[in-house]
Amino acid sequence: MTVPPADRVAADLVALVGSRIAHDLASPLGAIANGVELLGLAGQADSPELALITESVTNATARIKAFRIAFGAARPGQTVSDTDLRALFAAGPEGRRLEIDGPDAGDVPRPAGKLILLALMCVETALPWGGRVQVTRDDTRWQIAARGERMRVDPALWAHLATPQPPASIAPAEVHFALIGAEAAAQGRSLAVDIAEPGLTISF
């Protein structure tokens, strides 16, 4: 019997924890959304308080769905639609400023969708003031190309994207930099990064 390496087991457990958290939070958020809808049907839809709750629940639900794909388990055979991927990372009132073009690929394999969302999180960190991102795929590789008027790139963080070894110290808001290289390696993909202001490209 082949025993998987300890780091692979740890990564699988982290993904399962991510899936469990997202799954358990989705139910109460869905219940809140249903309650808000019922209040709207009761004639309270125009109140500013209800509008704020509705917006917050919508944003939280989108974040949870994105986290479930990016940080959760990605089993072979599972897919996510390109429309859902765009919607989960679209610019909106919750503060996201990236304009996403693509992918236009129909159903995307869930493992590839996981890498796409992790890559978009890395791009979002580098373009906190916003920008435009093009997600494309050729026969064998995905490419996430981003451009923005202003960039904030930490070389120490970006140096870890192409290696499965995570950095020794990392902030919670930067955890995607620690995960994407290991995930690409686990999928048998080579991850490449090209940074040339005012843009950058991640491919795998």
Q: Are strands 131-137 and 98-101 parallel, antiparallel or unpaired?
A: parallel
- 77-204 CATH, one of 3.30.10.20, 3.40.50.720, 3.30.565.10, 3.10.310.30: 3.30.565.10
- pLDDT at residue 118 in the model: 92
Q: Tell me the pLDDT band of 142, cut-offs 50, 70 and 90.
A: very high
Query: 115 pLDDT band (50/70/90 cuts)?
Result: very high
Per-residue pLDDT tens over the stretch 76-97:
788 988 888 877 776 655 556 7
pLDDT at 48: 75
Full-model pTM: 0.81
Domain ranges of the chain: 1-73, 77-204
Confirm if 68 and 114 have CB atoms less than 8 A apart: no
